Amino acid sequence: MRPPHASAAGVSARLKLMTYLSSKGTRLFAIFQARNLFIPLAVILMTMMIFLAACGGGGTNQPQTGQSRVGGDLSTGLNSDVVTLDPLKSTALVDRQVMLNIYDTLVRVDAQNMIQPDLATSWTQPNAKELDFTLRTDVKFQDGTPFNADAVVFNINRILSTPSSPRYSELSSVQAVTAVDPSHVRFTLKKAFSPLLATLTDRSGMILSPTAVKKLGANLGNAPTGAGSGPFMFSEWVKSDHLTIKRNPHYWQKDAQGTALPYLNSVKYRPMTNESVEFSNLQTGSIQSADTVGATNVATVKSNSNLIYKQVPGLSFYGMMLNTKVAPFNDVNVRRAVAWGINKEEIVSGVLKGLGSVAQGPIPPSSWAYNKDFAPYTYSVAKAKAALSQSGKTSVSFTLSIASGSPALTQQAQFIQSELQPAGITVNIKQEPFATLLSDTSSHNFVAALLGWSGRPDPDGNMYSYFHTGGGNNDMQYSNPQVDKLLEDARSTTDQQKRATDYQQAEQQVMQDVPYVFIYHGIAIQATTNKVKNFTILPTTIMNFSNVYLSQ
């Protein structure tokens, strides 16, 4: 980051003033000596220089303006390689880390989980089955084509016409979307759909250039050149090494001083599956921010004056997906045995070092729908054995798939393996690349998998796609008509207390059926060098770089 260049006239004036002060300082030194007062000349000159700086002569003490923040290249660690940059297909958090910096959404969520305007400046609801958006008129996509209502219609229809997309169940209550005029679009709903705004803050609300989507075709997920309207543009992706995005010079948003955002010239994402390696790179300055800090490194990062660490309660859940259509988990009693046999408290304290909270279901403590009195499973070998005997077995074994390269994940799997053994349950750990793991789970080619969900501001985002029949993330192949109805009812009312009751009842039924063993709720963390400024931490865990700058 360089300060603005000074003019020749300004430099000349300051040099003359400094010469003048130097001569005055020498005279003062002589006077003090004559009066037997020993004050070093250097102190006198330093005092006068401070006075000079206070009068505006020294640039280093001035606050950085928007313009002086512009420039710099930031490198950040990601806990795995990106899988795809096509929001229609994406299911990984690492994808969102990049996409939410290159694609704008209709609305966005702020640090307080409140919904704010983005591409849509406002919205109204004429009735329970219609939602109208007023759109920005000063936005162009990075390929030069205009953002307008037709672009919104194109992107939403792309989802609604692709039932295989994870996005489809997120918008399944939308009947149609129509362009009223270039700056107004209407969502017509099959029935009232209270989570719609929250849903549109993420991948379902990302608006891409229709021209770029058509031109790129299948290559959209690998190189979305010109597809976004966000602060950064796709530059290059060398898989397993780095992915770079560069400043969008025509981004529509400005800071409070009128300086165009973003400040940074580029952001380079570097995949690092090993938490210790990522932290080591942060310590040495090879990266300036990290998406993950291993639990064993948190105390170190907090004590390092060259680093900044922040954390806030997250929206996430983490645990084990169970394929309910294959043995041994096609038997609910075996699933319950596993739920009783895992010591969640031990994992939170031993593996996470307390950086998380024990989970009893998909709704995190930070949610308005959270039930603090709900605790269906506590660690009990006796109850695990009793549940297993209900299945007619005294022992079972299964393969647990995990993402390779992470010591923390491996340790967690080993804890599970050790904890379940006394109950007669043998766990065989299978490690595979993260992208392969996602592919296997989405195609139901797994028995159990250690995978989490980064969470959403509305409880619908943590439940519908996971536990509704046919939901976009329901890789467990779970189906329960009672749960389906409760989740549908929760979507169709705006009464928050009624919604909370529906979600809590659905959660209770899900935990009786145990398609997923919940272990812990995570936190959102932010770890950077102290040169990274203006970085807002979000409960969604997304690293938004649109306002970030690097100090000198």
Q: Residues 516-542: pLDDT tens digits?
A: 999 999 999 999 999 999 999 999 999
pTM of the model: 0.87
Query: Which CA distances in Å does 8 have to 11, 13, 64, 237, 449?
Result: 5, 9, 21, 43, 65
In a domain, 404, yes or no: yes
Residue 267 and residue 181 share a domain = no
Residue 336 and residue 309 share a domain = no
- The amino acid present at 247, given as its one-letter code, is R
In a domain, 86, yes or no: no
The residues, ordered by sequence, that sit 6+ positions from 428 with a Cβ below 8 Å of its Cβ are 397, 398, 399, 400
Residue that is last in its domain, among 215, 241, 258: 215
CATH of the domain at 329: 3.10.105.10
In a domain, 91, yes or no: no
Number of structural domains found in the chain: 4
Whether 313 contacts 537, CB under 8 Å? no
In this structure, what are the phi and psi dihedrals at residue 45, rounded to the nearest 5 degrees?
Answer: -65, -40
SS3 443: coil
Residue 134 to residue 127: CA distance in whole angstroms: 16
Residue 424 and residue 495 share a domain = yes
The residues, ordered by sequence, that sit 6+ positions from 209 with a Cβ below 8 Å of its Cβ are 141, 142, 143, 145, 151, 226, 227, 228, 229
Residue 359 and residue 505 share a domain = yes
Consecutive 10-residue averages of pLDDT for the chain (552 residues):
34 37 40 38 40 38 74 97 98 98 97 96 96 98 98 98 97 97 98 96 98 98 98 98 98 96 98 97 98 95 96 96 98 98 97 96 97 97 98 97 97 98 98 97 98 96 98 98 98 96 98 98 96 96 97 86
In a domain, 301, yes or no: yes
For residue 289, give the H/E element and its range.
strand 289-290
In a domain, 98, yes or no: no
In a domain, 480, yes or no: yes
In a domain, 17, yes or no: yes
In degrees, rounded to 5, the angle at the alpha carbon of residue 198 between the alpha carbons of residues 195 and 199 is 80
Residue 349 and residue 496 share a domain = yes
Residue 501 and residue 358 share a domain = yes
The pLDDT value given to residue 116: 97
Residue 529 and residue 411 share a domain = no
Residue 516 and residue 497 share a domain = yes
Residue 371 and residue 240 share a domain = no
Residue 151 and residue 295 share a domain = no
Whether 346 contacts 419, CB under 8 Å? yes
The set of long-range contacts for 280-288, using a CB threshold of 8 Å and a minimum separation of 24, is: 281/77, 282/77, 282/307, 282/527, 282/528, 282/529, 283/307, 285/529, 286/75, 287/75, 287/76, 287/77, 288/74, 288/75, 288/76, 288/528, 288/529, 288/531, 288/532, 288/550
The pLDDT value given to residue 416: 98
SS3 328: coil
- Residues linked to residue 237 through DSSP beta bridges, in sequence order: 243
CATH of the domain at 239: 3.40.190.10
Residue 119 to residue 135: CA distance in whole angstroms: 6
Closest CA to 135 of 229, 254, 250, 246: 229
Q: How many other CB atoms are found less than 10 A from the CB of residue 274?
A: 15
- Identify the domain containing residue 185 by its residue range: 104-215
Q: How many other CB atoms are found less than 10 A from the CB of residue 435?
A: 18
Closest CA to 155 of 84, 94, 105, 99: 105
Alpha helices in 237-375 (DSSP H): 275-284, 298-303, 332-341, 344-350
In this structure, what are the phi and psi dihedrals at residue 504, rounded to the nearest 5 degrees?
Answer: -65, -40
- The amino acid present at 136, given as its one-letter code, is R
Whether 105 contacts 112, CB under 8 Å? no
The pLDDT value given to residue 65: 75
CATH of the domain at 166: 3.90.76.10
Whether 185 contacts 177, CB under 8 Å? yes
Residue 225 to residue 213: CA distance in whole angstroms: 9
The pLDDT value given to residue 62: 53
Alpha helices in 352-453 (DSSP H): 381-390, 407-420, 434-442
Residue 289 and residue 323 share a domain = no
Residue 330 and residue 284 share a domain = no
In a domain, 144, yes or no: yes
Q: Please give the full DSSP string across 203-237, using - where no structure is assigned.
A: GGGB---HHHHHHHGGGGGT--TT---SSEEEEEE
